[in-house]
Structure 1
Amino acid sequence: MKATIWHNPKCGTSRKTLAILENLSEVELTVVEYLEDPPTTEKLAQLYRDAGITPAQGLRMRGTDAAERGLPDAGDAAILEAMAADPILIERPLVETDKGARLCRPQDVVLEIL
């Protein structure tokens, strides 16, 4: 099974999710450090759609200026554009497999798509 994780190595939950994926021999893993290689607005929209959440639910509030920018009350397009331009606004980690996508908070959520 193929899996892609949008990963932040400084995030403990992201590191724990990555460890789960790395310990499964049947997983062919792609790691994307999204702060350096952010997903497009289209990719983010697809990930959130596949995860069954809205862009606002995927918005990182802690440690960001999202509230000051009015993003929690913004529309999907504005949130996605802000995330693509400033990827620190993306809550992590996001994982995608053939079975779907999940925002893996807590990290055990990844097991739903393996």
Structure 2
Amino acid sequence: LITYNSNGGQGEDYYQNIGANILALDNAIVGFTRNKYEFTGWNTEADGSGISYEVGASLPPTDLGFTLYAQWKAKPLTPDTGDRFNQNVFMFLMILSGLGLVALTKKYKKKENN
């Protein structure tokens, strides 16, 4: 029996029967998740120091069970740009200012023509 462990992620252990031509399962099948992390593969040790297996890699034939631990990589944080306002508000104010300038220009041109 092969045990898939979430290794700090969310989800119950998943079990796969041992047989010929066994492939490392995709995490989408196993269903593990971890907030702010992305799944990178499997390893025979929780700390990643064992044998690594990519999704779809052939697993060694064995009569003994073993555990594969999910390996995770922190997702890069999106930096805060400091832009607290919606860009649409900025565009609206720019258009409003432009319309105000057009109206003032027309008003002064009208005065000059009189």
Of structures 1 and 2, the one scoring higher in RCO (CA 8 A, sep 6+) is: 1
Q: Which has the larger share of strand?
A: 2
Is the pair's TM-score, using the shorter chain for normalization, greater than 0.5? no
TM range, normalised to the smaller chain?
under 0.3
In the superposition, the TM-score normalised over structure 2's length comes to 0.24
Q: Between Structure 1 and Structure 2, whose CA radius of gyration is higher?
A: 2
